[in-house]
Amino acid sequence: MLSLDNLSKSYGDRKILDGVSWSMNDDGRVGLVGLNGAGKSTLLKMIAEVIPPDSGRITRPQRTRVGYLAQDAPEMGGRSVLRETLAALDRMQALDVRRKEVEQILTREHSGPIHDGALEELGNVLTELERHDFYSAESRATAVLFGLGFAADDLSRDVAEFSGGIRMRIALAKLLLDAPEFMMLDEPTNHLDIEARNWLEDFLCAYPGGIILVSHDRYFLDRVTTRTVEVSRGRLTEYVGGYSRYLVAREERFALEMAAYEKQREEIAHIENFVSRFRYQASKARLVQSRIKQLEKLERLEPPEGSQKPPAISFPKCERSTRRVFELKGAVKRYGSLTVYDGVDLTIERAARIALVGPNGSGKSTMMKLLAGIEKMTGGERFVGPSVHAGYFAQNLAESLNYEKTVLDELGDSAAGRTMGELRSLLGAMLFSGDDVYKRVGVLSGGERARLALAKVLARPSNCLLLDEPTNNLDIVAKDSLLDALRRFPGTVIIVSHDRFILNELVTEVLEVGQGHATRYLGNYDEYLAKKEAMENVATPPSTPARSGHVHLRDTRGNSVNGKVVPVDKSDAKVVAPNTELSKDDRDANRRRERIAKQRKQVEAQIEQKETERAALSTEMDDPNFYLARKDADELIARYERLGREIEKLYTDLVKFDDPAAMSE
């Protein structure tokens, strides 16, 4: 059990934690929530021993390790992605070296205290190595990196080539591979796409250790956590369940606290009125003094946190757009030899709520830039309605801010005609409060500049919003404020987001992009996933690939609509294969797929057989009398290690079958 006992922490005059006590089980799943600056990250750092508490203590079981993922990207360089990830097991590497040393001692000492001590140490070392599955580390590291969105070609690249966001993924991979007994995760999903978030959720749900995490993704919190701890005003308040259940319980507690606060205010007002009325009447002097002492002794309640709602985002008036907002005809976009879109036709109508989805690198941001006119198409035509006023947001817009101006002045330049109150309200919704609005843009963090850039887009008159990851730097409260505003927005919204709550609550259509294709689905993100799964479950012969190079846009039933995007109903989707004979190329491709599937099954069978044999050896080696009972102990240990290497190689071979290049071998 991990426990906090009378823990306190202050920065200057500001108390972050004030004598809190709390505990969690070894396999607990806890989400930390609270306003920005409440102390969530500080608490994680203290538990991970990154910073010390001012007073109190943190206790945990002996020999347990706490792993910590910070929000900032660590410095890395000089090693490949795979080698950097495996560096998380340097401690295990040292243990393996020690194992070999102890084995040498046992070959010389067959009895006596030295033998007994070495035998006990070897048992402990082998147990630790087996617990961390050390001998299959490389295959496990590869699986973790693939799960977090890395491609096979990335594993050999130097980590110094990657951005801070990608280095954060590597830091997360190292922590997951190291598998400490307790994990402290501060915004682990910040740099993950939806597919990687889904993978991480499954990984953490199956993780045997304890987890405390901070996240602004309520969907992620609901899936992973079973308890929620609110950090507020130096105190910790625990709720049973994930984030959604916490919201309900918090509202109930808020109502009770507000009722108690209002009741005390009425009581205080009544006493003060009595004192004011009878202060100068001698006959009431004793009663007045009694009431004054009563007020002095009274422990006054603070208004419950949450009584101040975040400012609502309002949009300036803008004329109504034409019914047809955007239209692409035969859209082609290439970057050198890379073709992102090859003949896509797309029509977007007024008041649509569309999410662009697809894996990283599939072309979501490129499509947004094509629609916004930020980038020119390589081929095809782009039509924009004559009365369309589009507001476009992307993370790199922060680079165009004037670093010499204040936050308030920079926003004012984009919001002619808006009052000071409206500007301050919009900045408040973007998490700029108090004197923050007078900061120079140049001293802001990257996340703060991105929020200011978003505020500038929302402040301009628009009837169409193109938003590329607008919630990346917002907490849950600010996300809710933006979501509420977008629901009220009367125009068209096209959004790229990795926040599934936003995609489920806002959008009514999903446009999946990738490999030059664009496929439209009616419904929100969950409905899109359900239709995708239904389509994948329908066994159909492969269709003949288009030979002209033109990309066919298909509806959710799999029917080609000659490049036209048309609305479809929400009935169960299924793929309808064209009624044509397979070409020779298709027959050859089918044979290759069948051959690769057969080879994959053979490799999986070999892995299963070797893992079974290795597990049996592990059980035998755990016996304290192993060296006494087996004369061939050294041979068995060598066999155990050899099996580990063979299994690792087989897993590497198995990964190749998922590589599209394997299909053409």
The pLDDT tens digits of the residues spanning 427-449 come to 988 888 888 899 999 988 777 88
- Asked if pLDDT for residue 203 goes beyond 90, the answer is yes
What is residue 569's predicted lDDT score, i.e. its pLDDT? 40
pLDDT digits (tens, 9 = 90+) for 91-150: 777 777 888 888 888 888 777 888 888 888 888 888 877 776 777 788 888 999 999 988
Q: What fold does the segment set 584-664 form as a domain? A: Helix Hairpins (1.10.287)
E strands within 429-506?
A: 464-468, 492-496
Q: What is the pTM of this model?
A: 0.69
* Number of CB atoms found within 10 A of residue 523's CB: 19
Q: What is the mean pLDDT of residues 268-275?
A: 86
* Average pLDDT value for residue range 174-193: 90
Which band of pLDDT confidence, cut at 50, 70 and 90, is reported for residue 655? Answer: low
pLDDT at 11 over 60: yes
Residue 568 pLDDT exceeds 60: no
Which of the residue ranges 6-20, 349-363, 386-400, 529-543 would you say has the lowest mean pLDDT?
529-543
Residue 414, number of CB atoms within 10 A of its CB: 17
The predicted structure's pLDDT at residue 346 = 92
Average of pLDDT values for 251-279? 86
Q: What percent of the chain has pLDDT over 90?
A: 31
> 403 by DSSP, 3-state: which?
coil
Q: What is the mean pLDDT of residues 12-27?
A: 87
Q: Is residue 664 very low, low, confident or very high in pLDDT (cuts 50, 70, 90)?
A: very low
562 pLDDT tier (thresholds 50, 70, 90): very low
CA distance 334 to 352: 27
d(CA 482, CA 486): 6
> 418: how many CB neighbours lie within 10 A of its CB?
17
Query: pLDDT tens for residues 38-63?
Result: 889 899 999 999 999 999 989 888 87
Q: Are 436 and 451 in contact (CB under 8 A)?
A: no
pLDDT tens digits along 344-356: 999 999 999 999 9
Taking the mean position of all CA atoms in its chain, how far away is CA 5?
Answer: 31
- Read off the amino acid at residue 474: L
Residue 580 pLDDT greater than 60, yes or no:
no
Query: Which pair of tokens denotes residue 412?
Result: 């004012």
Q: Which of 41-50, 157-166, 321-330 has the lowest mean pLDDT?
A: 157-166
Would you state the CATH architecture of domain 309-389+462-580?
Answer: 3-Layer(aba) Sandwich (3.40)
Span 464-492, mean pLDDT?
A: 90
**Which DSSP symbol is given to 337?**
T
Average pLDDT in the 148-155 region? 88
* pLDDT band at residue 571 using 50, 70 and 90 as cut-offs: very low
For residue 201, the model assigns a pLDDT of 93
pLDDT at 629: 66
Edge-to-edge, what's the strand order for the sheet holding 324-335? 338-349, 324-335, 379-384
Question: If DSSP codes are grouped into helix, strand and coil, which group holds residue 234?
Answer: coil
User: What is the predicted pLDDT for the residue at 472?
Assistant: 83
77 vs 421: which has the higher pLDDT:
421
Q: What is the pLDDT of residue 389?
A: 94
pLDDT digit string, tens, across residues 529-558 = 988 888 877 744 454 443 333 333 433 333
pLDDT on residue 186 = 92
Across 192-196, 414-418, 617-621, 624-628, the highest mean pLDDT is recorded for 192-196
Q: Is the pLDDT of residue 627 over 80?
A: no
Tokens in use for 630? 């087996």
pLDDT of residue 475 exceeding 60: yes
pLDDT above 60: residue 84? yes
Provide the residue ranges of all domains of the chain, joining segments of one domain with +: 246-297, 309-389+462-580, 400-460, 584-664
> In this structure, are residues 393 and 467 in contact, taking their beta carbons and an 8 Å threshold?
yes
Decide if 309-389+462-580 and 584-664 have a common fold: no
Confidence at residue 309, expressed as pLDDT on a 0 to 100 scale: 63
Least confident of 361-365, 467-471, 565-569: 565-569
Partners of 17 in beta bridges: 9
* Residue 325 predicted with pLDDT over 90: yes
Q: Return the number of other C-beta atoms located less than 10 Å from residue 300's C-beta.
A: 9
How is residue 565 written in tokens? 């995007």
Q: Identify the DSSP state of 445.
A: -
Lowest mean pLDDT among 272-286, 328-342, 462-476: 272-286
- Residue whose C-alpha is closest to residue 471's, from 190, 131, 52, 113: 190
How high does pLDDT run on average in the chain? Answer: 82
pLDDT tens digits along 491-544: 999 999 989 999 999 999 999 998 888 889 999 999 999 888 888 777 444 544
Q: Residue 109 and residue 116: Cα distance in Å, rounded?
A: 9
